[in-house]
Amino acid sequence: MSSSAVPSFSPDAPEIHADPYPAFGRLRELDPLHRSDLGYWVVSRHEDVRSVLMDRQGFGQGDFVENIRLFYGPDFDVMGQRAYKWLSEVFLMQDPPHHTRVRGLVTGALNAKRVRAMEPRIRQIADDLIDAMLAAGRAELIKDFAYQLPVRVMCDMLGIDPGDPRLPEVMDAIARSFIVFEARALTEQELAEANEQIGVLQAFFEELFADRMVNPQDDLATALVQSGGQEDALSHEELVTVAIGLFGAGFETTAHMLGNGILSFARNRQQWAALVADPRNRSAAAVDETLRFESSLIATYRTALAETQIRGETIYPGEKVLTLIGAANRDPRLFDDPDRFDIGRDARKHLSFGGGIHFCAGAELARLEGRIAFEQLAEQMPDIEADCAAPEWRPGFLFRGLSRLPITW
């Protein structure tokens, strides 16, 4: 079937915002290597998304400035924008060897052993949050729980006081600046706001690191500062960039995984009943099925580094490919009846943590937070009900999550 059978893919179309899966399904089944009018390729089958993410010779991040100019035109001053300059330095956006060096330091801090050691603390945080909701008698899940849990975990890790009065401003700044990850030109207002908000984040984390240089503590911020002196040490500016990236990646995606999970359970009551019947043993599967069914990151993109073939078509160096993780996760070639939310299936082949050299550095931590959250909610609020008639999705395409989800129990 030719591309003309499927309308050109545009990530900011309103129907995609409301529910991307019908459009994802059409692309995946009718035009799996789609040429978008926006000037990039779109892949949607599990096999293709996976192979683009895994193929480190053929695909990588490429020339950052050229990639962004694809959206804005050849004269756009990419590095003159504070937010894009920051993004260009985030190690996710870089190829080896720079990527390898910074990733090594970060994965060291987030390795499985360290993450396991955080379990009692995460349980405590989840308990406190659930107690507070129970005491209040009503709650809005996103604000009162889904954001709070991962933010407190990230605060613990980095050594930020969760009572710091600047924290709400920092969280808001993440939401408003991470829009630079989107695969499109931002409006003038969005870009101005992203530039301003990155400035807020840089000031906050610069102060944190400056403090840890003189007041070392037992936290990740100090460990990062003290990596100075070693051969592969990060500069002060790099430290700030890494910390913003980690803090943001650590809470936005995880928060929305929790919200998307509770929404999916509210729409599929028998699945919630199955979890409530055995929370301890079924919460890990609930996390994977949530990630597969309603991933909080539904796409990412790569640039061809060498001439490569996909489905018989040549992709030339410099060309950009949007990999639709959300479409791959519902590929019927991998998952039976993929549009059904079912915690009884084996969903572990989802691609919601990416793949290859950029595989999510926080996957262990996100899984643990998800497992504890679903387990404790099922145990302590077995009769939870969410207002799921008309979910309010937050703006943006790449990150998919709810702005609010009122709950009762």
Q: Name the residue nearer to ligand HEM (CB basis): 111 or 408.
A: 111
Dihedral (Cα; 138, 374, 251, 294), 10-degree rounding: -100
Nearest in space to 94 (alpha carbons), one of 82, 102, 106, 105: 102
Give dist(CA 310, CA 279) in Å, integer: 42
Phi, psi angle pair for 384, to nearest 5°: -55, 140
362 scored as a contact of ligand HEM (CB under 6 A): yes
Q: Looking at 46, 50, 282, 358, which residue binds ligand HEM (CB under 6 A)?
A: 358
The least distance separating ligand HEM from the CB of residue 245, rounded to whole angstroms, comes to 6
Phi, psi angle pair for 323, to nearest 5°: -100, 115
320 scored as a contact of ligand HEM (CB under 6 A): no
Per rule CB under 6 A, count of chain residues that contact ligand HEM: 26
Q: Looking at 179, 223, 257, 384, which residue binds ligand HEM (CB under 6 A)?
A: 257
Query: For ligand HEM, which residue has the nearest CB?
Result: 362
Give dist(CA 93, CA 95) in Å, integer: 7
Q: Contact at 8 Å (CB) between 274 and 282? A: yes
Q: Name the residue nearer to ligand HEM (CB basis): 11 or 354.
A: 354
Nearest in space to 357 (alpha carbons), one of 28, 11, 1, 58: 58
The least distance separating ligand HEM from the CB of residue 366, rounded to whole angstroms, comes to 4
Nearest in space to 250 (alpha carbons), one of 220, 290, 206, 209: 220
Site for ligand HEM in 29-48 (CB under 6 A): none
Q: Looking at 296, 303, 308, 329, which residue binds ligand HEM (CB under 6 A)?
A: 296
Q: For residue 310, what are the β-bridge partners?
A: 313
Cis peptide upstream of residue 97 (ω within 30 degrees of 0): yes
Q: Looking at 44, 177, 254, 303, which residue binds ligand HEM (CB under 6 A)?
A: 254
Site for ligand HEM in 53-112 (CB under 6 A): 53, 91-92, 103, 106, 110
Give dist(CA 357, CA 54) in Å, integer: 7
The least distance separating ligand HEM from the CB of residue 383, rounded to whole angstroms, comes to 26
Q: Looking at 146, 173, 174, 246, which residue binds ligand HEM (CB under 6 A)?
A: 246
Helix (H) or strand (E) holding 260: helix 236-267
352 scored as a contact of ligand HEM (CB under 6 A): yes
Q: For residue 315, what are the β-bridge partners?
A: 308
361 scored as a contact of ligand HEM (CB under 6 A): yes
152 scored as a contact of ligand HEM (CB under 6 A): no
Which stretches of the chain bind ligand HEM, using CB under 6 A?
53, 91-92, 103, 106, 110, 245-246, 249-250, 253-254, 257, 295-297, 300, 352-354, 358, 360-362, 365-366
